[in-house]
């Protein structure tokens, strides 16, 4: 029994039994399997790119929510200034017009950070103290914003390489499909010629 054993990767063609096939059918099977493998790898790469895009979007959402809170501090406040001392009007004063707005901003930040996979209460960020946010410092917000920027930059760099790989794989897949199409056309032309000569 003659078989072709494929290796992993774009050149992998699985395990095909060639013993009962003519050469045309065998070549067609090999080329079809190669195209399927390239399709599968291309889809995997597309899924990875989409997952990274989703993560970047979540991080950007978290950064926006942090920037909104950091923007409440008066200019000139240092990193040790807490939210409650940042000269923010009616900060955490129940029943005031701004109280709900601040709570909504806080909740949006907690939600966005959680969805982005960022820990809210680490020594690095200290964005949630005693379940609240009034003691959170401007420095903590700035540190978290910079950490997210770094993550977005790293993911964006990886994304550029992913897109290059995606383009390369797409080209290979198209080439394999073209080869298979051309092969089918040649087989058809050859058979048509044989049939024409027999008439």
* pLDDT over threshold 70, residue 120: no
Closest CA to 79 of 136, 162, 160: 136
Q: Higher confidence at residue 140 or residue 196?
A: 140
The two structure tokens encoding residue 108? 């949006």
pLDDT tens string 80-103: 888 777 677 666 666 666 666 777
Distances (CA, A) of 83 to 74, 90, 108, 125, 126: 10, 11, 16, 14, 12
Q: In which region does residue 130 sit, left (phi positive, over 0), alpha (psi from -120 to 50) or beta (all else)?
A: left
């Amino acid at each position: 029994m003659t078989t072709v054993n494929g290796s992993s990767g774009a050149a992998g063609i699985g395990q095909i039994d060639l013993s009962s096939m003519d050469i045309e059918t065998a070549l067609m099977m090999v080329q079809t399997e190669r195209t399927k493998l390239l399709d599968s790898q291309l889809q995997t790469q597309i899924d990875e790119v989409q997952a990274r895009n989703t993560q970047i979007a979540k991080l950007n959402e978290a950064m926006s929510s942090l920037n909104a809170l950091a923007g409440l501090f008066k200019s000139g406040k240092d990193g040790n200034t807490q939210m409650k001392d940042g000269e923010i009007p009616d900060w955490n004063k129940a029943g005031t017009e701004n109280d709900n707005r601040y709570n909504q901003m806080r909740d949006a930040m907690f939600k966005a950070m959680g969805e982005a996979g960022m820990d809210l209460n680490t020594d690095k960020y200290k964005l949630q103290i005693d379940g609240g946010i009034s003691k959170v410092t401007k420095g903590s917000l700035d540190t978290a914003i910079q950490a997210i920027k770094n993550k977005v930059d790293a993911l964006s760099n990886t994304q550029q390489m992913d897109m290059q790989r995606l383009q390369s794989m797409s080209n290979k897949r198209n080439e394999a499909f073209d080869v298979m199409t051309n092969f089918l056309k040649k087989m058809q032309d050859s058979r048509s010629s044989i049939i024409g000569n027999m008439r």
